[in-house]
A and B are shown apart, each in its own frame.
Chain A
Amino acid sequence: MAGTDEMSTAALSVSQDGQALVLKAHGDWVVRTLSAVDQQLRELSIPRGVRAEFDLSDIDRADTTGAWLIERTRLALHDAGSVTLTGAPSGLDQLLDQVSNAYADTDTLPPRGLSILNSIEGLGRGLVGAFNEGLHLLSFTGRTIHSMVRWIYMPQRIRITPIIYHMEQVGLNAIPIIALISFLIGAVIAFLGSDMLREFGAQVYTVALVSFAFLREFGVLLTAIMLAGRSGSAFTAQIGSMKGREEIDAMSALGLDYVELLVVPRVIAMIICLPMLTFLADIMGLVGGGVVLFIFEGISPVQYFIRLENVTEIQHFNVGIIKSVFFAAAIAIIGCYQGLKVEGSAESVGQRTTLSVVEAIFTVIVLDALFAIYFIQIDY
């Protein structure tokens, strides 16, 4: 190729001169050419008490890697016996010095433990880390509640504008997607339910199934999971990028309480919006079920409505709405908490956002299970 410097290959010849082992280097000893010579040098058998001579006079060019191979070989020969370097071209001497200085510091690489011990250690660290994370989250929840309670005593500190802004983001903008998926899930439940119950000739109970399932569980769970993915993650990303740019530190330095400014408005907006969206999801789920029953089972909307009124008790609806408040608090607090745990890089924002969604959905489902046991125990 025009303009590219010609590069000769590196070579090493080994010979025996009486008692002495003679190594002679040829060609360009640069990183591009040394792969084979490296292998040759590694496999070189060095007898104990060797007297060696390393002739460098035929080297055309050497870079740090070439110098390192020479230095490595010299050290090995030196350990086994004695060695003299001869004929080093000017410049290579200096390079050899520099390389030997640089590498002198590096032979204390940190020891690696046994892999099974490492994984046990990792398990232990993970458990302790999860426990500590739980404690931190609990203390953060306490701090958030404290700030919220303070607002009750000092209503003039309540910040309406950010609450309204977040309500728009969390609530208003989520209406179409929540309505759509609730409608579809309601339709699916009605469809599967009526298909199943037909075998017992009990299609008419499908109405009870849809209303019971949606009002108690599906409406609120769907909404909560949707908002955990949609808004909980957004909270983490927003607060996380602020943390990354030291904006949170700037707030603290200016004497502002970031929990009050950033966390509380988001938590309140979520607590207001999630129950409202749950209500919407309930309605849309029932509508979806009604549409399916009308089309496939011939139950007219009027019949559906009367049936619904007969089988549905208000406490089913209450259970869903009561749960939604707690889910809302959990999602918002976890989202903000993870945002505040971001450190430095954009990569950390991504990790924390994932973690926030996973943790929020996990918490919602665990809470849901606890609520199920609780409401059955009190027979509500």
Chain B
Amino acid sequence: MAGYGSNIISIRGLKNQFGTQVVHERLDLDVHRGEVLGIVGGSGTGKSVLLRTIVGLNRQRAGSIEVFGTDLTKLSDDERREYETRWGVLFQDGALFSSLTVAQNIQVPLKEHLNLSPALMDEIAALKLGLVGLPPDAGPKYPSELSGGMRKRAGLARALALDPEIVFLDEPTAGLDPIGAAAFDNLILSLKKSLGLTVFMVTHDLDSLQAICDRIAVLSDKRVIVVGTMEEMLRFNHPWVREYFHGPRARAALDAKT
């Protein structure tokens, strides 16, 4: 494990701009290996844009992003693909391929990048379904036959297909009921522990932040204004951060845990 220290993702001086609208400016952020980092920020502060930029779906205007110690924008397409198999992304509504069954969805990256026997691929699909807490009969179903929560789990199973080192989660608990959201939090936590995952999570869910995030990064004024633990957030003096972490909903979420 060489080439990069404890920072699995390292962003320096990032700038993103759409038309005349500057979304990020001089944004710095480090993600440590093996941590769960929660990204919070008001609507329109570019949380999802940041995620999309890191995984290469959006090209930044300026600045550098190093993942696994390598600036991916400087690589050729083939080299890039090598790195892309080392992370998984869970999009907001799962983004499962609607023409494939759930099991086939999970097997897509396996088929594309590896040369495995069909029997082993079926076993892996069944295994991942079990890991994310889906019943085995979900495998042959199509995404349209699943509920929103099940689609998210199936999307996570696909993101985990290649046993990635980093998973990016875009609002994983949005649209889930509180029980489902808590179960999802636990799932991420247990996967992180047993697989040694690094988790980069965009979220609005204060319960998730409190329950599973090792550190929290706050996006505001086009950059990351503070990164730290929940305790540090509570002490940090910035109007938006104060309102976010001391609002009535935050209080309820924090009280529930203490």
**Contacts from A to B (Cβ < 8 Å):** 1-5, 30-32, 34-35, 38-39, 42, 63-65, 68, 72, 91, 94-95, 97-99, 101-110, 343-345, 347-348
> Are A31 and B124 touching (Cβ within 8 A)?
yes
Indicate if B179 sits at the interface (CB-CB under 8 A): no
Q: Which segment of B110-118, B199-207, B245-253 sits at the interface?
A: B110-118
> Are B130 and A344 touching (Cβ within 8 A)?
no
What distance in Å separates the Cβ of A69 from its nearest Cβ neighbour in chain B? 8
User: How far is it, in angstroms, between the C-alpha of A202 and the C-alpha of B129 when the chains are bound?
Assistant: 76
| Chain B contacts for A39, CB-based, 8 A | 117
Closest 8 CB pairs of A and B: A102-B130, A63-B163, A3-B70, A3-B3, A106-B126, A106-B136, A102-B131, A3-B69
Indicate if B168 sits at the interface (CB-CB under 8 A): no
Indicate if B119 sits at the interface (CB-CB under 8 A): yes
With A1-B82, A4-B82, A5-B1 as contacts: A345 and B98 at CB distance below 8 Å: yes
Q: Which residue of A lies closest to B75 (CB)?
A: A1
Q: Which residue of B lies closest to A108 (CB)?
A: B136
What distance in Å separates the Cβ of B129 from its nearest Cβ neighbour in chain A? 7
Indicate if B94 sits at the interface (CB-CB under 8 A): no
What distance in Å separates the Cβ of B101 from its nearest Cβ neighbour in chain A? 12
| Chain B contacts for A106, CB-based, 8 A | 126-127, 129-130, 136
Indicate if B49 sits at the interface (CB-CB under 8 A): no
User: How far is it, in angstroms, between the C-alpha of A35 and the C-alpha of B123 when the chains are bound?
Assistant: 13
Indicate if B4 sits at the interface (CB-CB under 8 A): yes
Q: Which of A3, A4, A30, A345 has the most CB of B within 10 A?
A: A3
Count of A-B contacts with CB under 8 A? Answer: 103
A38-B117, A72-B123 are known; give 13 further A-B pairs, CB within 8 A: A5-B68, A35-B117, A64-B127, A64-B131, A101-B130, A102-B131, A106-B127, A106-B129, A110-B137, A110-B140, A343-B144, A344-B144, A345-B144
| Chain A contacts for B195, CB-based, 8 A | 63-64, 95
User: How far is it, in angstroms, between the C-alpha of A42 and the C-alpha of B190 when the chains are bound?
Assistant: 30
User: How far is it, in angstroms, between the C-alpha of A4 and the C-alpha of B129 when the chains are bound?
Assistant: 29
Indicate if B162 sits at the interface (CB-CB under 8 A): yes
User: How far is it, in angstroms, between the C-alpha of A68 and the C-alpha of B129 when the chains are bound?
Assistant: 13
| Chain A contacts for B256, CB-based, 8 A | none
Size of the chain B interface, CB-CB below 8 angstroms? 42
15 contacts between A and B (CB under 8 A): A4-B68, A5-B3, A32-B114, A42-B117, A42-B119, A64-B163, A65-B120, A65-B163, A94-B194, A95-B194, A102-B129, A103-B127, A106-B126, A109-B136, A347-B144
| Chain B contacts for A104, CB-based, 8 A | 130
User: How far is it, in angstroms, between the C-alpha of A35 and the C-alpha of B140 when the chains are bound?
Assistant: 24
User: How far is it, in angstroms, between the C-alpha of A98 and the C-alpha of B190 when the chains are bound?
Assistant: 9
Encode contact with A along B90-114: 1 for CB under 8 Å, 0 otherwise: 0000000011000000000010011
| Chain B contacts for A347, CB-based, 8 A | 98-99, 144
User: How far is it, in angstroms, between the C-alpha of A248 and the C-alpha of B127 when the chains are bound?
Assistant: 40
> Are B139 and A98 touching (Cβ within 8 A)?
no
User: How far is it, in angstroms, between the C-alpha of A97 and the C-alpha of B195 when the chains are bound?
Assistant: 12
| Chain B positions 158-214 with a Cβ under 8 Å from a chain A Cβ | 160, 162-163, 190, 193-196
What distance in Å separates the Cβ of A6 from its nearest Cβ neighbour in chain B? 8
Indicate if B79 sits at the interface (CB-CB under 8 A): yes
Encode contact with A along B46-86: 1 for CB under 8 Å, 0 otherwise: 00000000000000000000001110000000010011000
Contact of B79 among A1, A94, A108, A348 (CB under 8 A): A1
With A5-B1, A31-B110, A345-B144 as contacts: A105 and B136 at CB distance below 8 Å: yes
| Chain A contacts for B98, CB-based, 8 A | 345, 347
User: How far is it, in angstroms, between the C-alpha of A187 and the C-alpha of B105 when the chains are bound?
Assistant: 53
With A3-B69, A38-B120, A347-B98 as contacts: A103 and B130 at CB distance below 8 Å: yes
User: How far is it, in angstroms, between the C-alpha of A91 and the C-alpha of B34 when the chains are bound?
Assistant: 13
| Chain A contacts for B2, CB-based, 8 A | 5
Indicate if B15 sits at the interface (CB-CB under 8 A): no
| Chain B contacts for A110, CB-based, 8 A | 137, 140
Indicate if B13 sits at the interface (CB-CB under 8 A): no
Q: Which residue of B lies closest to A64 (CB)?
A: B163
Q: Which residue of B lies closest to A347 (CB)?
A: B98
Encode contact with A along B135-149: 1 for CB under 8 Å, 0 otherwise: 111011000100000
User: How far is it, in angstroms, between the C-alpha of A343 and the C-alpha of B145 when the chains are bound?
Assistant: 11
Q: Which residue of B lies closest to A98 (CB)?
A: B194
User: How far is it, in angstroms, between the C-alpha of A266 and the C-alpha of B46 when the chains are bound?
Assistant: 43
Indicate if B153 sits at the interface (CB-CB under 8 A): no
| Chain B positions 1-50 with a Cβ under 8 Å from a chain A Cβ | 1-4
What distance in Å separates the Cβ of A100 from its nearest Cβ neighbour in chain B? 10
User: How far is it, in angstroms, between the C-alpha of A31 and the C-alpha of B111 when the chains are bound?
Assistant: 12
What distance in Å separates the Cβ of A42 from its nearest Cβ neighbour in chain B? 7
| Chain B contacts for A4, CB-based, 8 A | 3, 68, 82-83
Contact of A65 among B3, B124, B139 (CB under 8 A): B124
| Chain A contacts for B99, CB-based, 8 A | 347
Indicate if B223 sits at the interface (CB-CB under 8 A): no
User: How far is it, in angstroms, between the C-alpha of A63 and the C-alpha of B115 when the chains are bound?
Assistant: 17
User: How far is it, in angstroms, between the C-alpha of A72 and the C-alpha of B122 when the chains are bound?
Assistant: 13
